Amino acid sequence: MKQLYLIRHAKSDWGTQFLKDIDRPLNERGYNDAYFMSQWFLKNVPMPDKILSSTATRALNTALIFARTINFDMNNFMLDKTIYECTYNNFLSVLQQQPAAINTLAVFSHNPTVTESCNKLINEFFIDNIPTCGIIGIKFSVNDWREVSSVKGELSFYQFPKNFKNEE
């Protein structure tokens, strides 16, 4: 059994017009949502064996907030520049390259890849857009990440910040 946690980076700041896209930081709401959702993650989701993050500033900042909140072993925190602006097929390739010893993997990435991956990897699930700082849990009945493309996963959970806005 393999478990994938797909996390879209938190809301980013569009305020600096000359900043390259890869360097865009989180905005205030993004930081607040990342801290809030990382607390939810800590209380509700088993610790991942590995965290993999895009090298884009907004994804990396989101991943680091989660890692600190859940007291993650940073020896198992990896950056992967190929998941920034990647296609679904490239993303699938990254998943399939993960060691079989990794049973739970958290990936911090971007749209449209996060939404497209969810729609292609999960059985009987479709969503138009995974919102910023949305977290999707997918279970695969496989023993090796190389098998992920041959079987549809099962949705474990789907949470995002606006699900909790009325509770505050």
Give pTM, 2 decimals: 0.95
pLDDT at res. 58? 97
Name which of 90, 142, 143, 97 is nearest 116 in CA terms: 90
Residues of the chain with pLDDT under 50: 168
2.40.170.20, 3.40.50.1240, 3.40.1390.10, 3.50.50.60: CATH of 2-10+23-167: 3.40.50.1240
Q: Give the residue from 4, 26, 70, 37 showing the smallest Cα distance to 163.
A: 37
Task: Show the CA angle centred on residue 105, arms to residues 103 and 108, nearest 5°.
Answer: 175
Task: Find all residues with CB under 8 Å of 165, minimum gap 6, and list them.
Answer: none
Q: What is the pLDDT of residue 123?
A: 86
pLDDT given at position 15: 80
Give the closest residue to 61 by CA, choosing from 25, 20, 23, 19: 25
Q: 3-state class of 27 per DSSP?
A: coil
Identify the pLDDT of residue 104: 98
pLDDT at 166: 65
Give dist(CA 35, CA 8) in Å, integer. 14
What pLDDT does 167 receive?
A: 54
